[in-house]
Amino acid sequence: MSDAAPRTLIVTGGSRGIGAAIARAAGRAGFRVALSYKGDAAGAGAVADAIAAAGGEALAVRADVAREEDVVALFAAVDTRFGPPDVLVNNAGGVGPLGRVEAITAATLAEVMAVNVTGSFLCCREAVTRMSTRHGGRGGVIVNMSSRAAELGGAGEWVHYAASKGAVDSLTIGLAREVATEGIRVNAVAPGLIATELHARAGAPDRLARLAPAIPMQRPGTAEEVADIVMWLASPASAYVTGAIVPVAGGR
């Protein structure tokens, strides 16, 4: 991948939480930032405006990554504004309702898998066709958003979510090996308990306080701490790292 500035980074689900933190960190690092959002136009606009106010360039694009046509349109919009991306961060995701496997519905499974798995695959497809030296590209970096739940299992809460992130891990390892000679590195970040609004939106506002004692570091992480690892994976400092799943979980 060319180190000449400016470079372009796409982060899906960039209107809030970890995605917003990644977008802001990328802007500070000198990337031109394209961030997608599904419904929170105001949040995405605020992130893009903050990047621009700091002297950067940002583009907010409405896109539901579970819809193939939206993913295609997202990458087309980035092509038009900035050219092909140098970095893709597959951050958009959903957890579905809290509950045991015996209570899961087909609709919940379809929704969670469509966003977390299908969306990641589609975005990877579009990125590879632009980045791969096999297709005339200049190389690039893909960072997928996994979760410690993929290994821990999410018992009693989010086994469906954990399973979807297990699929993201398999995508990461397989794609990394597939494109390793084509100038593309593919890695994943696996956050643990992170202090974002996700828990309250899922109906468990006390979840962080309840589970914090089980974390060896005795505290939840921050979105910025996850963003720091994403930016390391996007940088030349990790040039010999591919196919890795990096835990950001305080030892959990």
Active site residues: 161
> Whose CA is closest to 146, among 9, 222, 249, 21?
249
Are 164 and 112 in contact, with CB atoms under 8 Å apart?
yes
State both tokens at 59.
């583009």
Dist. CA 168–CA 221, nearest whole Å: 21
Query: Residue 242 in 3-state DSSP?
Result: coil
DSSP string, 195-231: -STHHHHTT-TTHHHHHGGGSTTSS-B-HHHHHHHHH
β-pair partners for 221: 194
